[in-house]
Amino acid sequence: MLKTDGDFLLRITEPNPGQPRSLVVSVCDPRDNPRHFVIQTDGGLCFIEPHQKHPDVINLVRAYHRITLGGTVLLKTPIHRQSWELNHDDIECTKKIGEGAFGEVSLGRLNVKGEKIEVAIKLAKLESLTKEQIKEIMLEARLMRMFDHPNVVKLYGVAAGQEPLMLVMELADKGALDSYLQKNTLSNEKKIEMCAQASYGVEYLHHMNVLHCDIAARNCLYGNGKVKISDFGLTREGQTYEMLPTKRVPIRWLAPETMVYYIYNQKTDIYSFGILCWEIWHNGNEPYPGMTIAEVHSKVKEGFRMILPPNIPNNVRIVILNCWGLPDKRWSANEVAKKFEEISGLKMPEYVTLEEKKKQQQQLLTTTSNGPSKRKKSKTSRESRDSVEQQEGDEKPQRNKNSAG
Q: Considering the domain boundaries, does residue 301 fall inside one?
A: yes
pLDDT of 301 over the 90 cut = yes
Is the confidence at residue 135, as pLDDT, over 60?
yes
pLDDT tens track for 8-29: 999 888 766 567 778 999 999 9
Residue 381 CA to residue 183 CA, distance in Å, equals 40
Active-site position among 29, 214, 231, 386: 214
Considering the domain architecture, whether residues 65 and 166 belong to the same structural domain is answered as no
Residues 192 and 167 placed together within one structural domain of the fold: no
Across the range 140-150, mean pLDDT stands at 94
Same domain, yes or no, for 14 and 156? no
Q: Give 364-381 pLDDT, tens digit per residue.
A: 666 655 554 443 433 333
Beta bridge partner(s), residue 220: 229
Q: pLDDT digits over 190-212, tens only?
A: 999 999 999 999 999 999 999 99
My answer on whether 281 and 217 are in the same domain is: yes
Residue 405 pLDDT more than 60?
no
CATH number for 39: 3.30.505.10
Chain centroid, CA 359 distance in Å:
22
- How far apart CA 219 and CA 231 sit, in angstroms, is 5
Q: Provide the pLDDT for residue 367.
A: 62
Q: What is the pTM of this model?
A: 0.81
Q: Could you give the number of structural domains in the chain?
A: 3
Mean pLDDT for the chain? 88
* Torsion sign, CA atoms 56, 62, 64, 66: negative
Mean pLDDT within 102-116: 91
Return the CATH number at 295. 1.10.510.10
Q: Is 214 part of the annotated catalytic residue set?
A: yes
Cβ within 8 Å of residue 314, ≥6 positions away: none
Q: Structural domain of residue 230, as residue ranges?
A: 177-344
Alpha-carbon distances, residue 81 vs 44, 149, 384 (angstroms): 26, 24, 10
Q: Are the CB atoms for 65 and 76 separated by under 8 Å?
A: yes
pLDDT at 33: 77
Q: Which of 65, 66, 75, 72 is nearest to 32 (CA)?
A: 72
Residues 218 and 329 in one domain: yes
* Percentage of residues in the chain having pLDDT higher than 90: 68
Query: Residue 385 and residue 28: Cα distance in Å, rounded?
Result: 14
Whether residues 214 and 251 share a domain: the answer is yes
